[in-house]
A = this chain, B = another copy of it.
Amino acid sequence: MGSTGMRQLALDAKNAANITAALSTKIKDELLLRVAEVLEKEQETLIAANRLDLEAARAKAMAPAMLDRLTLTPKRVAEMAQSLREVAALPDPVGAMERTWVRPNGLRVSRMRIPLGVIGIIYEARPNVTSDAAALCLKSGNAVILRGGSEALRSNTAIGALFQRELKALGIPAAALQVLPNADRQWVLEMLKMDDCIDLIIPRGGEGLIRFVTENSTVPVLKHYKGVCHTFVDASADLEMAENLCINAKVQRPGVCNAMETLLVHRACADRFIPHMAAVFAAHGVELRGCPTACALSETIKPATEEDWDKEYLDLILAVRVVDNIEAAMEHIRLHGSDHTEVIVTNDYVNAQRFVREVNSSTVLVNASSRFADGHQLGLGAEIGISTTKLHAYGPMGLEDLTARKFVVYGNGQVRE
């Protein structure tokens, strides 16, 4: 196959996208519900394919955490099916018109949501992404090309085959969902250059993957590199609330992008808050790295280096800095933040409003844990990823972010003068 293979696959996707764009909500939901059913009914097929992936991965001495992510169990397959049912239950964004306005000449103008076309998803070794991402792309009327990690190729192919069988059963071209049939990196490189067929690439995974995609793609890319999320405890903060928010943001799930990586504490409450928190964090097994002022307040805090302020630890490590005021906190965020998520804990109205207005990260929270920066938690119904670049989408992305809006104009013979 080689070069011609990828080209044909993308052209097939483009043709299929013309069909999926016009599908009724009813058919799209039926498709997702049918796939949910066969995923559960034929879970043995999936788990058998997954077993081959796991054997190969073990032979290559894959790390246990990676092996765990790769593994499909009856419970995980049931969760994939459940996700499909949840996406089926979401409102269809296609065709929605939020507002109609009338021009002085009587033209009625509005904007209608339409699918983007063909979406490419490039991800690492989590087979559930195959099913979750496919569901969101199809529900929003797009065709989708999936390229998972090579370690999960057999699992992903098996999941894709179930989708394609149900697509065909409903008279929809199977090319509406395609899993790349091999792990050839050359295919990915070609895919990233097919801006005449593919409308959007969403990479999901580590910083290396994201960088590779961004640097090689002529197709628009929605992505985030990392989440260096800050919590600023203001002078007026309720310190008990601040403690709860900080523990939740750091400890509940330290390996994810919306976990807190840096704690900024106003000088006025530092001597009350930091020694207490040093003990609480120690009890949770969190290593603290602080500025000199913070270190002077607790012996358990190690000195931070300049690099610590830019680190996404994804681990039980936290950088701590004492700041003179809200301006210094916002300046620190501007210099070291990653446009992902920032929190202020405060009871001061003016500071809450300033933080919300002046910090332009993709999610800004007042008196709530950074862990809420998530499509489900914010009420988008589902999440296809998070964007930290401002064009098209910024922050957690849901179904609507997989659509565009065209202008629709109803007239009765108007001409321009």
Contacts and interface: CB of A to CB of B under 8 A. Distances in A.
Interface string A89-102: 00000010000010
B415 A244 contact: yes
A362 interface: yes
Interface stretch (A48-56, A76-84, A363-371): A363-371
A252 B415 CA distance: 9
A360 B405 CA distance: 9
Contact of A378 (B21, B115, B371, B407): B407
A287 B117 CA distance: 36
Question: What is the oligomeric copy number?
Answer: 2
A413 B356 contact: no
Interface stretch (A30-38, A318-326, A386-394): A386-394
B410 A377 contact: no
Interface stretch (A106-114, A144-152, A270-278, A292-300): A106-114
Given A116-B390, A334-B18, A415-B245, A395 B366 contact: no
Interface in A342-359: 352, 356-358
Contacts of A21: 358, 360
Contacts of A18: 334
A369 B406 contact: no
A259 B403 CA distance: 27
Contacts of A244: 413, 415
B367 A413 contact: yes
Contact of A245 (B115, B334, B379, B413): B413
A404 B408 CA distance: 23
A212 to B, nearest CB: 15
A414 B372 contact: yes
Contacts of A416: 248, 252, 369, 371-372, 377
Nearest to A220: B391
A87 to B, nearest CB: 19
Interface in A237-279: 238, 241, 244-245, 247-248, 252
Nearest to A102: B379
A378 B357 CA distance: 30
A159 B21 CA distance: 46
Given A364-B409, A391-B392, A416-B377, A372 B404 contact: no
A200 interface: yes
A405 B394 contact: yes
A197 to B, nearest CB: 13
Given A220-B391, A394-B405, 18 more contacts: A21-B360, A22-B357, A101-B379, A109-B378, A112-B357, A114-B360, A244-B415, A248-B416, A252-B415, A361-B406, A363-B406, A363-B409, A365-B411, A366-B409, A367-B410, A369-B415, A371-B415, A396-B407
22 contacts: A21-B358, A22-B358, A95-B357, A116-B391, A199-B390, A220-B391, A241-B413, A245-B413, A361-B406, A362-B406, A362-B407, A363-B407, A363-B409, A365-B408, A365-B411, A366-B411, A367-B410, A367-B412, A368-B410, A369-B415, A372-B409, A395-B407
